[in-house]
């Protein structure tokens, strides 16, 4: 008898679950059928449209490419919706700079809580990249001074030191077999960021580093949890991510305590001491305020999380951009020629003189206008991802151009790539034209439409430092080496929003990792230009 009762109970639960699913499906589909978006199916919502779009691109293509494709295919407006239930969060998508400004600068919207859930296994809970409200304000106030130009310019000497090691590594690779540019740049940027964060070399370029291996695992495994339907495999990845993340946090904590002890032992007042790293800057501020004792129970948990964020995201995003910069330069020799001429004109032809000039006059790097334009144009083609927001408490709609757009329960996504490849925003958007960023009114003209670091109060804190890093690296490499990506150009253009696949094949479509990244480690060949 009990067996029959259990069977009836299970059947009842199953029936109720099915009824709930059907009712939720009907409610969802009715809601989105009335909103702007691609062709909507009462059964599939927009899942079918997304599935068809994904077939056009290489495997694991970053979703921003699908958004750009759908926007063009269906002539979608500045704001539209994607009904992805039950396989994913439904989205309100913004594809214009003016509309994006409404939620980034006019009234800044908070980061979507789903982003914090996704990044917690990688960065830890409530990092500066994912937190909101008073916690974010506290973190921003604490970290912000470490990214002021007057401080970051003092770090250029360390960047030069590590880049010269990278230069020597490229010499060894010249005229040899194919190598991974992503791998080489990862070691360089890890060492640079290690020096900037901790103040001492991590030596990944010379000896390798288990912490770098851990960081790369966190980045590369991020998308695995989205790509597998295997529950056991997904949980295993999440468990491993936590173990790896805990190891990195412990490493940061051990070094913070060691450095704190050294700074505390110094009798010179904290206010008069010069910080040699971001860690020093944070610890000296704490010592001055007399509100931390790392030998006791209190720990710098928020600071650890930020340094972890900087190590994880800071090096990978810069690596991605440099991979594409070298690739685009190799395919546009006239741009490379002008870049090299600028470097010779401002810093002279000799590498030792160039390096010493940067050390002595770090602000001189700001004179590299064309180099900066090359980086900006690369970031226009290959932004590292999209901005993801949610509606502020107490609101349920965005009022824009006399229309009300429901925001409650939506993942609000600003598709940066779509905006930056829109011909209404950039003339001849498929052409690689760095000079467009040198036009007299370029900054004001594109103040809402060029946004790879995002805009407003949630813009990337480290963007100026990242640009300095990339300028120095290009300055100390491009005149001595010719780099050629190992790619298979497409015979036919896949989509209308870019023709780069005719030059660089599948590399034209970034893959989805923690950011939008190059494929297969960006394989390259390198030759020496013969310059001493």
Is the Cα dihedral 116, 122, 124, 129 positive or negative?
A: negative
Q: Is the pLDDT of residue 140 over 90?
A: no
How far is it, in rounded angstroms, from Cα 375 to Cα 357?
22
> Which of 422, 461, 438 shows the shortest CA–CA distance to 374?
438
Q: Is the pTM of this model over 0.75?
A: yes
**Taking residues 339-347, what's their average pLDDT?**
98
Q: Is the pLDDT of residue 415 over 50?
A: yes
Confidence of residue 297 (pLDDT cuts 50, 70, 90): very low
Residue bearing the bigger pLDDT, 11 or 272: 11
Q: Report pLDDT for 269.
A: 58
Would you give the distance in Å from CA 438 to the centre of its chain?
25
How far is it, in rounded angstroms, from Cα 209 to Cα 27?
52
Confidence of residue 270 (pLDDT cuts 50, 70, 90): low
Q: What percent of the chain has pLDDT over 70?
A: 93
CATH 3.40.30.10 is the classification of domain 35-291+310-528: no
User: Residues, the chain, total?
Assistant: 532
- Give the pair of three-digit tokens for residue 408: 């409650």
How far is it, in rounded angstroms, from Cα 511 to Cα 521?
11
Weakest mean pLDDT among 17-26, 462-471, 483-492, 507-516: 17-26
Weakest mean pLDDT among 93-97, 122-126, 498-502: 122-126
Q: Report pLDDT for 420.
A: 98
Average model confidence (pLDDT) across the chain:
89
Q: Report pLDDT for 18.
A: 78
Q: What percent of the chain has pLDDT over 90?
A: 60
DSSP assignment letter at 41: B
Q: Is the pLDDT of residue 442 over 60?
A: yes
For 355-401, how does the pLDDT look when each residue is reduced to its tens digit (9 = 90+)?
Answer: 999 999 999 999 999 999 999 999 999 999 899 999 999 899 999 99
Would you give the distance in Å from CA 14 to the centre of its chain?
43
- Is the CB of residue 199 less than 8 Å from the CB of residue 161? no
Is the Cα dihedral 26, 29, 35, 39 positive or negative?
A: negative
**Taking residues 186-200, what's their average pLDDT?**
89
Q: Report pLDDT for 2.
A: 60
Confidence of residue 4 (pLDDT cuts 50, 70, 90): low
Q: Is 323 annotated as a binding residue?
A: no
- Is the CB of residue 472 less than 8 Å from the CB of residue 478? no
Going from N- to C-terminal start, the domains of the chain cover 1-34, 35-291+310-528
């Amino acid at each position: 008898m009990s067996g029959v009762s259990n069977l009836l109970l299970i059947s009842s639960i199953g029936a109720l679950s099915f009824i709930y699913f059907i009712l939720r499906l009907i409610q969802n589909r009715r809601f989105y059928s009335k909103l702007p978006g691609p062709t909507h199916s009462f059964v599939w919502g927009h899942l079918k449209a997304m599935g068809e779009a994904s077939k056009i691109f290489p495997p694991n293509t970053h979703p921003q490419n699908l958004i750009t494709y759908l926007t063009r295919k269906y002539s979608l407006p500045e704001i539209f919706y994607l009904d992805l239930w039950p396989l994913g969060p439904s989205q309100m998508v913004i594809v214009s700079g003016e509309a994006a400004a409404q939620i980034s600068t006019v009234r800044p919207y908070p980061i979507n809580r789903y982003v914090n859930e996704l990044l917690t296994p990688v960065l830890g809970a409530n990092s500066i990249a994912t937190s909101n409200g008073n916690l974010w304000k506290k973190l921003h106030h604490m970290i912000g001074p470490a990214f002021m130009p007057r401080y970051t310019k003092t770090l250029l000497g360390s960047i030069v030191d590590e880049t010269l090691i990278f230069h020597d590594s490229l010499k060894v690779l010249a005229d040899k077999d194919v190598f991974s540019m992503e791998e080489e740049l990862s070691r360089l940027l890890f060492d640079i960021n290690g020096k900037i964060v901790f103040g001492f070399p991590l030596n990944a370029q010379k000896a390798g580093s288990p912490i770098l291996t851990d960081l790369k695992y966190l980045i590369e495994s991020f998308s695995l949890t989205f790509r597998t339907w295997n529950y056991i495999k997904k949980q295993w990845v999440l468990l491993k991510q936590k173990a790896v993340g805990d190891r990195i946090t412990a490493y940061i904590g051990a070094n913070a305590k060691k450095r704190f002890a050294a700074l505390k032992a110094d009798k010179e007042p904290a206010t008069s001491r010069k910080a040699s790293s971001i860690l020093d800057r944070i610890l000296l501020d704490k010592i001055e305020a007399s509100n931390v004792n790392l030998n006791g129970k209190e720990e710098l948990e928020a600071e650890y999380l930020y340094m972890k964020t900087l190590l994880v995201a800071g090096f990978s995003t810069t690596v991605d951009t440099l991979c594409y910069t070298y690739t685009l330069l190799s395919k546009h020799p006239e741009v490379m020629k002008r870049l090299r001429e600028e470097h010779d004109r401002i810093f002279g032809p000799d590498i030792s003189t160039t390096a010493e000039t940067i050390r002595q006059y770090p602000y001189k790097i700001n004179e590299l206008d064309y180099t900066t334009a090359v980086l900006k144009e690369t970031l226009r083609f290959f932004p590292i991802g999209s901005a993801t927001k949610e509606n502020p408490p107490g609101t349920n709609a965005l009022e824009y151009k006399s229309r009300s757009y429901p925001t409650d329960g939506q993942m609000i996504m600003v598709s940066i790539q779509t905006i930056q490849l829109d011909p209404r925003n950039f003339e001849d958007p498929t052409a690689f034209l760095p000079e467009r960023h040198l036009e007299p009114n370029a900054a004001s003209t594109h103040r809402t439409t060029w946004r790879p670091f995002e805009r407003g109060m949630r813009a990337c804190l480290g963007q100026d430092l990242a640009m300095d890093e990339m300028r120095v690296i290009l300055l100390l490499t491009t005149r001595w080496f010719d780099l050629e990506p190992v790619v298979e150009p497409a015979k036919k253009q896949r989509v209308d929003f870019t023709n780069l696949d005719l030059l660089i094949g599948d590399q034209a479509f970034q893959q989805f990792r923690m950011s939008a990244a190059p494929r297969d480690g960006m394989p390259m060949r390198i030759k020496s230009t013969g310059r001493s």
